[in-house]
Chains A and B, each alone.
Chain A
């Protein structure tokens, strides 16, 4: 019988939540990864392996891997560093398993790959030569925090093609496995001066429709955007949402026009507006939006959800899941129409991913 598995990355390790296809009753296992902060945990559908990007304040950054759905884990950072005289690799921000390898987006910005199931890693690209690239590693030109490469979106059919997101800079596409990249930010909005119109965009989350690979959506620092031409150009679809800001987003597995976001207050608080929790959905590619809040707390719920904090499964009636910065996981087994709190007291959540196995 199919098993639904949630991988929850938290500030104190990785947790695994399990249910059957009904997705009503959930068991929680963990914490794993020795309580290291886990920024992103993912499942490789080809091998059923789990990978968790982590960084310890004391012992540095690494990727934990498990071949038995989290029962046992191994850590490796072999090859996950720049040269002795290069920049510092402070964090592995995002992982992607596709086409027989694992890609890691890291901070300082770069892409590493592993072709042996996470045992060893090598640098694939630092996106050298991109517009204003020389500024990316300059601390004087960075926002609070760091400038990293938090996300890589692989093309489902073309192994050498993927899109990389660089924080505060934008999206870059490669079709030759990282040998060259092209900025893909045309049509995006920036509410700040741009030195070069090709770059300088704050892309928070990039997703692709599994049924139409030309259809992409993104939650940006300023607005929601859609592409109908594989990220060659973007149109804004923010109208109808309570705020233009947010981090998390998810594309429906069976319908190209259905897309989910979690709008947040755009100030420094970055929580759900008015303390009322809601996920928003469009069924017409962003022309109209519906608020989905049945079962979600509607009072004093100052919840934050980060870029990897929302996931959607691939079942016939897809389930949605989001994890909060205050340690709750909410789940919907009916495409977001109604929600249940399935974990209440986890550490602060960085990521939620879902897999249907067995």
Chain B
């Protein structure tokens, strides 16, 4: 199971969504799909048509910059980061 960490901006949009959860998935895209099944609409908050990660959403797998097709190991740590910006 990969250990997924989500940005603070997501849980308020999806009741019951925790900041940290375990996901059984082979890739980043598959992990997001898993989340979308349980919290419909979540994929659209992270991805745009293409599909591709949204411009200001960054994903790191085991501290390396990742994309949707990056593979996950059973004990991978996945950090989904909303870019630090705005005012």
- Whole-angstrom distance between the Cβ of A85 and the nearest chain B Cβ: 8
B13 interfacial by beta-carbon distance below 8 Å: yes
Of all chain A residues, the one with the shortest Cβ separation from B49 is: A84
A59 contacts B41, C-beta separation under 8 Å: no
Cα–Cα, bound, A75→B11 (Å): 12
Residues of A within 8 A of B56 (CB): 57-58
Interface of B, helix, strand, loop or mixed by DSSP: loop
Known contacts A75-B41, A82-B49, A57 near B9 by CB under 8 Å = no
Q: Is B16 an interface residue (CB 8 A)?
A: no
In the complex, the answer to whether A60 meets B41 with C-beta atoms within 8 Å is no
Q: Which residues in chain A, 48-85, are within 8 Å of chain B measured between CB atoms?
A: 56-60, 62, 75-78, 81-84
Chain A residues, CB < 8 A from B13:
34, 59, 75
Given A34-B12, A57-B86, A58-B54, verify A81-B41 contact (CB < 8 Å): no
Number of interface residues of B (CB under 8 A): 21
The answer for the CA separation of A58 and B41 in the assembled complex, in Å, is: 14
Q: Is B45 an interface residue (CB 8 A)?
A: yes
A24 adjacent to chain B (CB < 8 Å): no
* Majority DSSP secondary structure for residues of A touching B: loop
Given contacts A75-B41, A77-B41, A59 and B9 within 8 Å (CB-CB): yes
In the complex the two chains form, what is the Cα distance from A75 to B51 in whole Å?
A: 20
Assess the A60–B45 pair: CB atoms within 8 A: yes
**Quick one: given A57-B85, A58-B54, A58-B82, are A78 and B40 in contact (CB under 8 Å)?**
yes
| Interface membership of A133, Cβ < 8 A | no
Assess the A58–B83 pair: CB atoms within 8 A: yes
Cβ-based interface call for A115 (8 A): no
Bound Cα distance A57, B48 (Å): 12
A-B contact count (CB 8 A): 48
Cross-chain contact A60 with B9 (CB below 8 angstroms): no
CB pair B44–A84 under 8 Å, yes or no, is no
Residues of A contacting B49 in the complex (Cβ-Cβ under 8 angstroms): 81-84, 86, 88
> For the complex, what is the distance from the CA of A63 to the CA of B9, rounded to whole Å?
17
B41→A78 contact, CB < 8 A: yes
Residues 20-59 of chain A, each 1 if its beta carbon lies under 8 Å from chain B, else 0: 0000000000000010000000000000000000001111
Q: Are B44 and A34 in contact (CB under 8 A)?
A: no
Bound-state Cα–Cα, A260 to B48, Å: 40
Residue of B nearest to A90 (CB): B48
- What residues of chain B lie closer than 8 Å to A75, measured between beta carbons? 13, 41
For B1-26 the 0/1 string (1 means CB < 8 A from A) is 00000010110110000000000000
Report B40 CB to chain A, min CB distance, Å. 7
B85 contacts A60, C-beta separation under 8 Å? no
B59 at the interface (CB under 8 A from A): no
Output the nearest chain A residue to B81 by Cβ-Cβ distance.
A58
B residues in contact with A84, CB < 8 Å:
49-51
| B57 in contact (CB, < 8 A) | yes
Please indicate the chain A residues that have their CB under 8 angstroms from the CB of B31 in the complex.
none
Chain A proximity mask over B29-49: 1 for CB below 8 Å, otherwise 0: 000000000001100111011
Cβ 8 A contact of A59, one of B50, B51, B54: B54
Q: Contacts A58-B56, A60-B54, A76-B41 given: A81-B48 contact, CB under 8 Å? A: yes
A59-B10, A60-B44 given; 5 more Cβ-contact pairs under 8 Å: A57-B86, A58-B9, A78-B41, A84-B50, A88-B48
The contact sample of 20 A-B pairs, CB cut-off 8 A, is: A34-B12, A34-B13, A57-B85, A58-B7, A58-B54, A58-B57, A59-B10, A59-B13, A59-B57, A59-B82, A60-B44, A60-B48, A75-B41, A76-B41, A77-B44, A78-B44, A81-B44, A81-B48, A81-B49, A84-B50
9 nearest CB pairs, A to B: A59-B45, A58-B82, A84-B49, A58-B56, A77-B44, A81-B49, A34-B12, A57-B56, A84-B50
